[in-house]
Structure 1
Amino acid sequence: MSSQKKRGIQIEAFKHRVVVDSKYAERTWKVLEHAIHEIYNHNASGLSFEELYRNAYNMVLHKFGEKLYSGLVATMTLHLKDIAASVEASQGLSFLEELNRKWTEHNKALQMIRDILMYMDRTFIPGTHKTPVHELGLNLWRDNIIYYTSIQTRLRNTLLEIVQRERNGEVVDRGLMRNIVQMLMDLGPSVYQQVFEKPFLDTSANFYRGESQQFIECCDCGDYLTKAEKRLNEEIERVSHYLDEQSEVKITNVVEKEMIESQMTRLVHMENSGLVSMIVDDKYDDLSRIYTLFRRVSSGLMLLRDVMMSHIRETGKHLVTDPERVKDPVDFVQRLLDERSKHDKIVNLAFSSDKTFQTALNSSFEYFINLNPRSPEFISLFVDDKLRKGLKGVSEEEAENVLDKVMVLFRYLQEKDVFEKYYKQHLAKRLLSGRSVSEDAERSLILKLKTECGYQFTSKLEGMFTDMKTSHDTMQGFNLAMARVLANGPILTVYVLTTGSWPTQSTPTCNLPPEILTVCEKFKTYYLGTHNGRRLTWQTNMGSADIKATFSGGQKHELNVSTYQMCVLMLFNNVDWLSYKEIEQAVEIPTVELKRCLQSLACAKGKNVLRKEPMSKDVSETDYFFFNDKFSSRFYKVKIGMVAAQKESEPEKQETRQRVEEDRKPQIEAAIVRVMKARRVLDHNNIVAEVTKQLQSRFLANPVVIKKRIESLIEREFLERDREDRKLYRYLA
């Protein structure tokens, strides 16, 4: 590679003196004119380009540039008229071939002419503001060939005909088309647009308008979309092969308008094949296609979103309000989770995780889940079912996945504090009965709730776990201290529960058997002796017991029962039968609980350690109960559960709701004080709006309740009304 610097070409005047006679200009032009004729006639091989360049140079030098330029225009125009006649005379497809060939020849000729007239191009033309030689050649070709009326019409029609043939499936000469289109572009974008692009777009619009009408009448939505997508891709491919790249947006807009936008409402609502049908049948390919195509038009995605939202809301509303569905809370929530998973998959796979559709999905689920006031209770029951038995044997990752899905539903709840009430009750039962499948899963869910709602939401739940551990340590100390005293007596396990952390419980009456009562008193004496200023209240309704029983033939079983069931069974240690009234008088258990207790002991098939007369499914106050000496089971340990519905009774529901409403009052008041402390003076509507916003992570505050709490704060002199404007409140520091 040479290291010498390349020097630019310099054109210098000849050193020898040139004598100009009167006929010099005419004679010199004749030489140049002849050369131009020879170039166009393909006889340029015999020409001396150096001599021709010198002649053109001298004409410009001696002020004959105007004659040279005008002569060039006239000569080129003459040849182009002959070319136009030749192109016009060509037949069929040879028309384009002839045009392409002549165009190629013209470009070669133009290059040689430009070389000869280089000096004129660089000096005379800039000074006189005339068109440069190459551009002049293109303009003359445009005006004499392309804009020649019969050629222009024929060229346009031929190009459009070839495009139509290709749309009909025929194979066309794309190379020839590319050359012709490139010729039009070389002549200027306006030439390409005027001669071809505008009529191309107009005829395409007519074609696709007709085709869309034809398809919409005979195709279902999926087939129509497939055909529309195919046409769209064909046009994009056509542009890449032989049209100008700027045409892609224009022609795709035509296809989108005629095949998608004009038909999209009809397509979306097509019976048995529209968007709803695709969603119901999980047609991911069709859904992906409708999303991809509709996003190309301005309101396409909004239409899809609205129809999807309407469908999900209707489906969800039916699901949460159907009386048959709400009979089984676990199935109720599982169906919600299945619906969520189904639509999540559609949004992620078919709709490219589009935020618009994710927001619509969340909005729809929040709408219909809160239509059922028992949704918080049912979600807690579902969690209870999973943590008691549903997650047994599954991997940690699968358990986390289930809990994550539950949390998605939890986020939709407007009354999260209602969920908290039920969850606390269910968690208490799991912890006290030792029936949770995994402490890790329990703590994982509490951590998720804490992340979602903050420390205050889970502080009491975490306190329940603390009490369980403290109780374990307390029992170790008690057993060690009473080892000799309790050597032959019942083994007692006590959980000391902190008031406030655990669900609020009434203290029902229950007469414990003397053997149990003695041990309980010893524990009470021990506990109060080690903890000053505390008070113990026995929650017999929350306990359980393992008792050993001997039946006929000396067959022995260990029965796992509730504390209530234990009290009833131990009455039969000394008698063979008792009436309902006698049992009720002896144990003093609340009537509802006693009937459930006796029903589970005497009416549950395979676990009836008592017999009831007369035999029936329900317990009445005239019944008699007998020890079932013939009871047998293939298991040594037999668990006898209490007959109980998963759902609350109506009075229990009212009681829970009342407790929730009571718990909300101090939270609403605290929010009002926080708002007023920051704002000092505020009108009623703005207080309601800001308090609602502050509390929405836990529950949806009722404006009527907020008004009552404001009045309560005024009575207690935290706030006062403005003397002039009664709608304004002032904070009293």
Structure 2
Amino acid sequence: MSLKPKNVDFNETWSALRETVKGVLTLSSVPRSVWNDRFSDVYSLCVAHPEPLADRLYLETKAFLDAHVRSLLEQVRANGENNLLRAYYQAWSQYSLGCLYLHKLYLYLNQQHIRKQKLSEAEIIYGNLSAALQEQMEVGELGLEIWKKNMIQPLKDSLVSLLLEGIHQDRLGEGNPNSTDIIRGVIQSFVSVEEFKMKGNLCLYEEIFETPFLAASGEYYKLEASRLLQTCDVSLYMERVTLQLKEETLRSQKFLHCSSFPKVRAKCEHHMVEEHLPFLHSECKAMVQQERRRDLSLMYPLLRSVQGGVAVLIKEVLEHIKQQGLEAITGLRGDNIHTQFVENMLAVHKKYKELITDVFAGDQSFMGALDKACSYVINYKSNPKIMCRSPELLAKYCDSLLRKSAKGMSDTEIDDRLAQSITIFKYIDDKDVFQKFYSRMLAKRLIHQQSQSMDAEEAMINRLKQACGYEFTNKLHRMFTDISVSSDFTNKFNDFLKSTYGCDLGFNFSMYVLQAGAWPLTQTTITSFSVPKELEKAVQKFETFYHKGFSGRKLTWLHHLSQGELKLGYLKKPYQVTMQTFQMAILLQFQEVDSLTCREVQECLQLFDEPFNKHVMGLIESKLLMTDNQALGPDTVLRLNKEYTNKRTKFRITTIAHKESPQEIEQTISAVDEDRKLYLQAAIVRIMKSRKVLKHNCLIQEVLRQSKASFAPTINLIKKCIEALIDKQYIERTPHSPDEYSYVA
């Protein structure tokens, strides 16, 4: 065909084109040759000479579509009310597909004539003018717009009424399966006729169908909820509501546009859940206390769907875990209270963590409730004036696992239990108290070589470092460093003896040189002790060696933490006995005599009554020494037991237990109190140095924020520290305000 403009007889061309348009709309057979000719006719009319006939073609096509749809309306109405949906759906199915083909037939008109006149997308979306009033529509869009005007608008009331009735019958289980496609198709037609619009393309659907549908659905849900509440208990009610929600979701997917899905669900939840929240909330407590998992798994999604609905359930779970936790740790008895405490608390945590994961889908709100409950239980004080024992008990639990006495457990099991103990540690408020007890117990394990595994020790410290940072475990790392360095000291000392004196001591002598700042071993009063002559030279030579390499340092011998191995040669067979240094010194007094009074031994060793009596009783209980009196006094005679026998030739006297005495626990707590005061004073000075001037309440809040990682100080303690710093002239009250402080530079 020729593409040049030419004279065209519009009436003749339109007459032929109209027949093809009618065939396309009615889905009649249109031969390819006819289609091609009509396609050319559209082009010819659009570029006709001397004047294009595109506008006239558009108007004639519009008039034809208008008449065609009106005739279809009459045909649909002729089918009667009962068959209205089916007739409408059939007419729509044919017409909508015909419009699609017609749109392609008018491709040139659409692209070259209509689209060039169209408003831009931005003008349509953000402009104030209606696109429909300002421009011609493309032919396919025009066909849909005419269908909306001439078919949907006249029939909308009847169609919607029938659609609502059909969906209601489906809810009741009385719907006709054959009508599903018809109902969905009719509803979809309300969307499809405006899909071409860039703005408000769901307005028709929402206005004529969705709004009345949601209103009708709301009434149904309201009546259904009322009926169920009269005939069902809470368990059955929740089952039915859950089932109803599932069915409505499937029904929405079956019939409605996707934009309606959340609206339908929200309507159902409002009438069947939100309007009956007091009833559902009243059942939560019993469900949680009885741990009715199935009921809770039904209750949770229902309450979660309503704003604020799940808060009551979270509160009940929190209170229940608190109650169960307190029951698990209250009234513990025996020597292994620390083990019972930690393992009972871990069992509670594990149980309710699994419950939250299984029943509440791991909801973080419930996990937060678990954390709050565990924190409350672990830091619970029956007496507010007494420090919580949880840090001490956890430290003892870790100590029992890390000691060589942890029998019957593999390394893997010990490591798993230590890893689990971090769960308890994270909930402890007074982490500084745990640190103090843990460091003292670690010191004893390292010094007495009682650690089960150095790898396990380091792994535990690394876990603590991950939980609280390097500063928390700094001293613990330094303790390990001292132990490793001390072994080098022993080797260097032996080399020093050989090079300086040309001989060794005649016995094995090793020592730990420990930094006073890193080890929690300092005592207010060092136990007086006169070293036996057998050890005196070794001590003097080591001090000479040490001061030669490190001038200006002071060595303090902690004999109460030392031990030695003594060989007994006065019995029928030789024995090697490991004992505490004081005990060894007492036995060495019997090198040349078989009996001595307590006064003689005590004066020779310069030991106080308390440590002397304790260590002598250890030797008497082990039957290495004998006495006629049960109560020790200055004149009590101590005798060597020359008839002593033991199945083992190498053993340890364990009378001196490495457990912390009540006095040592009290000392630890006192040390914590002093450390807290210094910590708080340092924090206050840091804050005031950076702020210069600060209100009292702001200072309190900032101190609380900075210290919460280690402990939770009382307001009174912070106030005392502020007063102490004022006395020390680090800070002062500002002249113009009594509740404001300034930093004294």
| Global fold match (TM > 0.5) | yes
Determine the C-alpha separation between the residues in 1 that align with 2:143 and 2:29: 21
Uncovered stretches (5+) of structure 2, i.e. residues with no partner: 47-52, 115-131, 195-201, 382-387
Determine the C-alpha separation between the residues in 1 that align with 2:402 and 2:29: 97
Shift of 1:629: 6.7
- AA of the residue aligned to 1:507: I
> Kindly tell me: are residues 117 and 142 of structure 1, through their superposed partners in 2, closer, same or farther at Cα, counting changes over 3 Å?
farther
Shift of 1:663: 2.6
- AA of the residue aligned to 1:235: E
1:547–1:558 CA contact under 8 A, matched in 2: yes
Q: Deviations over 1:536-582 (max 9, x none)?
A: 33322212222334797x35543333334434555677788889888
Determine the C-alpha separation between the residues in 2 that align with 1:701 and 1:507: 32
> Kindly tell me: are residues 219 and 567 of structure 1, through their superposed partners in 2, closer, same or farther at Cα, counting changes over 3 Å?
farther
Aligned to 1:435: 450
> Kindly tell me: are residues 186 and 597 of structure 1, through their superposed partners in 2, closer, same or farther at Cα, counting changes over 3 Å?
same
Determine the C-alpha separation between the residues in 1 that align with 2:496 and 2:11: 134
1:228–1:259 CA contact under 8 A, matched in 2: yes
Alignment of 1:221-240 (within 5 A): 228-240=241-253
Aligned to 1:182: 188
1:676–1:682 CA contact under 8 A, matched in 2: yes
Shift of 1:639: 3.2
Determine the C-alpha separation between the residues in 2 that align with 1:70 and 1:648: 106
Aligned to 2:262: 249
Partner SS state of residue 88, structure 1 = coil
Determine the C-alpha separation between the residues in 2 that align with 1:541 and 1:518: 19
Aligned to 2:509: 492
2:717 pairs with 1:705: yes
- AA of the residue aligned to 1:142: I
1:313–1:367 CA contact under 8 A, matched in 2: yes
Aligned to 2:122: none
User: Out of 101, 125, 139, which is 2:149 matched to?
Assistant: 139
User: Out of 412, 418, 437, which is 2:433 matched to?
Assistant: 418
Shift of 1:489: 4.8
User: Out of 584, 592, 614, which is 1:566 matched to?
Assistant: 584
Determine the C-alpha separation between the residues in 2 that align with 1:575 and 1:172: 116
> Kindly tell me: are residues 172 and 656 of structure 1, through their superposed partners in 2, closer, same or farther at Cα, counting changes over 3 Å?
farther
Alignment of 1:156-235 (within 5 A): 156-165=164-173, 174-186=180-192, 192-193=205-206, 197-209=210-222, 218=232, 228-235=241-248
- AA of the residue aligned to 2:719: K
Aligned to 1:470: 485
2:69–2:151 CA contact under 8 A, matched in 1: no
Aligned to 1:661: 673
User: Out of 512, 519, 528, which is 1:502 matched to?
Assistant: 519
Determine the C-alpha separation between the residues in 2 that align with 1:358 and 1:468: 42
Alignment of 1:335-414 (within 5 A): 335-345=344-354, 355-372=364-381, 373-389=388-404, 402-414=417-429
Determine the C-alpha separation between the residues in 1 that align with 2:222 and 2:632: 82
1:611–1:628 CA contact under 8 A, matched in 2: yes
Partner SS state of residue 700, structure 1 = coil
Shift of 1:251: 1.5
2:344 pairs with 1:329: no
Shift of 1:432: 0.5
Shift of 1:315: 3.4
> Kindly tell me: are residues 341 and 77 of structure 1, through their superposed partners in 2, closer, same or farther at Cα, counting changes over 3 Å?
same
Determine the C-alpha separation between the residues in 1 that align with 2:95 and 2:146: 12
Determine the C-alpha separation between the residues in 2 that align with 1:233 and 1:716: 71
Determine the C-alpha separation between the residues in 1 that align with 2:596 and 2:222: 89
Aligned to 2:691: 679
> Kindly tell me: are residues 69 and 219 of structure 1, through their superposed partners in 2, closer, same or farther at Cα, counting changes over 3 Å?
same
Determine the C-alpha separation between the residues in 1 that align with 2:679 and 2:203: 72
Determine the C-alpha separation between the residues in 1 that align with 2:249 and 2:513: 75
Of the structure 1 ranges 267-276 and 472-481, higher mean CA displacement relative to structure 2 is found in: 267-276
2:566–2:578 CA contact under 8 A, matched in 1: yes
- AA of the residue aligned to 1:545: G
Alignment of 1:525-564 (within 5 A): 525-528=544-547, 531-549=550-568, 554-564=572-582
Shift of 1:430: 0.9
For this pair of structures, how many residues does the alignment match? 690
Q: Deviations over 1:673-693 (max 9, x none)?
A: 222222222333333333333
- AA of the residue aligned to 1:566: M
2:105 pairs with 1:87: no
Aligned to 1:731: 743
Determine the C-alpha separation between the residues in 1 that align with 2:70 and 2:232: 56
Aligned to 1:23: none
> Kindly tell me: are residues 629 and 115 of structure 1, through their superposed partners in 2, closer, same or farther at Cα, counting changes over 3 Å?
closer
Aligned to 1:309: 318
2:285–2:316 CA contact under 8 A, matched in 1: no
Determine the C-alpha separation between the residues in 2 that align with 1:709 and 1:441: 39
1:550–1:556 CA contact under 8 A, matched in 2: yes
Shift of 1:455: 5.0
Shift of 1:246: 1.6
Aligned to 1:642: 655
Shift of 1:244: 1.5
Determine the C-alpha separation between the residues in 2 that align with 1:172 and 1:647: 84
1:162–1:172 CA contact under 8 A, matched in 2: no
2:401–2:418 CA contact under 8 A, matched in 1: no
Shift of 1:380: 1.9
Identity, % of aligned pairs?
Answer: 26
Shift of 1:596: 5.6
Q: Deviations over 1:345-398 (max 9, x none)?
A: 556676666554454444443333232412222222222222224888989887
1:268–1:304 CA contact under 8 A, matched in 2: yes
2:736 pairs with 1:718: no
Of the structure 1 ranges 99-108 and 491-500, higher mean CA displacement relative to structure 2 is found in: 99-108
Determine the C-alpha separation between the residues in 2 that align with 1:563 and 1:176: 99
> Kindly tell me: are residues 17 and 144 of structure 1, through their superposed partners in 2, closer, same or farther at Cα, counting changes over 3 Å?
closer
Shift of 1:429: 0.3
Of the structure 1 ranges 139-148 and 69-78, higher mean CA displacement relative to structure 2 is found in: 69-78
Aligned to 1:25: none
Q: Alpha carbon RMSD of aligned pairs, Å?
A: 5.5
Determine the C-alpha separation between the residues in 2 that align with 1:668 and 1:128: 76
Q: Report the TM-score, using the length of structure 1 for normalisation.
A: 0.74
1:415–1:699 CA contact under 8 A, matched in 2: yes
Uncovered stretches (5+) of structure 1, i.e. residues with no partner: 19-27
2:570–2:642 CA contact under 8 A, matched in 1: yes
> Kindly tell me: are residues 70 and 326 of structure 1, through their superposed partners in 2, closer, same or farther at Cα, counting changes over 3 Å?
farther
> Kindly tell me: are residues 628 and 119 of structure 1, through their superposed partners in 2, closer, same or farther at Cα, counting changes over 3 Å?
closer
2:29 pairs with 1:14: no
Shift of 1:424: 2.0
Determine the C-alpha separation between the residues in 1 that align with 2:238 and 2:573: 74
Shift of 1:332: 1.5
